[in-house]
Amino acid sequence: MLSAAVFLVVGTVLAYPFSARAATGKTTGVYTPAPGTVERKAILDAMRRKVKELHQLDVVFVVVTMKVGNGWSWVHTRPQSKDGSSHYEDVLALLKRTKGSWHVVEIPCTEPDNPDCIDSPGYFGKLAGRFPGMPPGLLPEDGR
């Protein structure tokens, strides 16, 4: 009898957050992988490869934001040299996991006054339109 009561209470406590989120429409499936996880490392390794390819720099990233969901990731980082003595411009990227590996699919343009760049109104809406399948809540809202 006691074990049945414990099961009922534990089951109710565990189920409540999921049902409450479902009722409020907040179940986007978007999350942030914890520091030190395999997934977070794989995403940052893909970004490191891209920075190396584009700029011939070996960097470590200070993560500002990282969101993951449905095989997509949006990441905002502050790269620096491995010894921390050099700091570089922020790197933001959209990544997609295909065949078990993460790949950078877009690094946004950051030129001022360019209508196709990240600071332009509607940028994130256009980005979502170019890459369907991203879960709601992955990208920042336009007008951050």
Instruction: Quote the pLDDT of residue 116.
Output: 83
Q: Which CATH architecture has domain 31-130?
A: Roll (3.10)
Output the pLDDT for position 17: 36
- pLDDT at residue 73, rounded to an integer: 98
Contact 106, 75 (CB under 8 A): no
* pLDDT given for residue 20 in this prediction: 32
Reported as a single tens digit per residue, the pLDDT across 84-118 is 999 999 999 999 999 999 999 999 988 888 878 89
Please, which contacts does 127-133 make with residues 24 or more away whose CB atoms are closer than 8 Å?
A: 127/94, 130/106, 131/72, 131/94, 131/96, 131/105, 131/106, 133/70, 133/71, 133/72
> Which amino acid appears at position 27 of this protein?
T
Note the pTM of the prediction, 2 decimals: 0.78
The amino acid occupying position 13 is V
Residue ranges of domains in the chain: 1-28, 31-130
Helices (H) and strands (E) in the chain, counts: 3, 4
pLDDT score recorded for residue 114:
83
- Alpha carbon separation from 20 to 17, 61, 132, 135 (Å, rounded): 5, 35, 28, 19
Cβ-proximal residues to 87 (8 Å cutoff; 6+ apart), any chain = 78, 79, 80, 81
The reported pLDDT for the residue numbered 120 is: 87
User: In this predicted structure, what is the pLDDT of residue 138?
Assistant: 96
Q: Which residue positions in the chain have pLDDT lower than 50? A: 1-25, 143-144
| Structure-block tokens of residue 116 | 């196709």
